[in-house]
Structure 1
Amino acid sequence: MKLRSLLLIAAVLCSTQVMAANSQQEKMKTCNADAKTKNLSGDARKSFMSSCLKADSGVASAPATQQDKMKVCNQNASAQALKGDARKTFMSDCLKKKPA
């Protein structure tokens, strides 16, 4: 009976790991498609991908400190290749948002 229980637990753990891997693959596909749609390349693409993958996992949605929030907003502005007044406006709005 103990062996059967251990096998059941092992099967559940393995299936959970497979589902997590599939979830990560789906995130990567979605973020890649979004980056391609926005014609991003180089550092802007790297920044966008980082933000996108973190946002999907909930890490970037609620930065712990103002410095973290500034970093996330800056990455998102860079990913969108914003410059000048458009970047200032975006940063202002982004930093004013309440954490999710």
Structure 2
Amino acid sequence: MKKLFMAMVVIGMACGASVQAAEKQATPQQQRMTVCNQQAGAKSLKGDERKSFMSNCLKKDAAQAEKKLTPQQAKMKRCNADAAKKSLSGDARKSFMSNCLKKA
């Protein structure tokens, strides 16, 4: 797990550097990696402490990005939660979801 994370960090940094060198727009993931890496560097973090910080930083940024739901996604989330509260399953759940999503 740690090796995979370090590989992702190295790849992310390499991709970020190559994209910046080519003066292209970085992907959101690359931007998050760059920001988190700069913050870790400013705090002079090393080893496991840096890995932990990077992991938390990237998770936090990903969670914030997920919070920005489109209106359709918000409606889907609300209808799904309502169906779960009512313990619906099978055809009853499909029917409920269909009706819920059609509502304005």
Q: TM-score, structure 2 length as denominator? A: 0.36
Rg (Cα) greater in structure: 2
Q: TM-score, structure 1 length as denominator? A: 0.37
Higher relative contact order (CA 8 A, sep 6+): 1
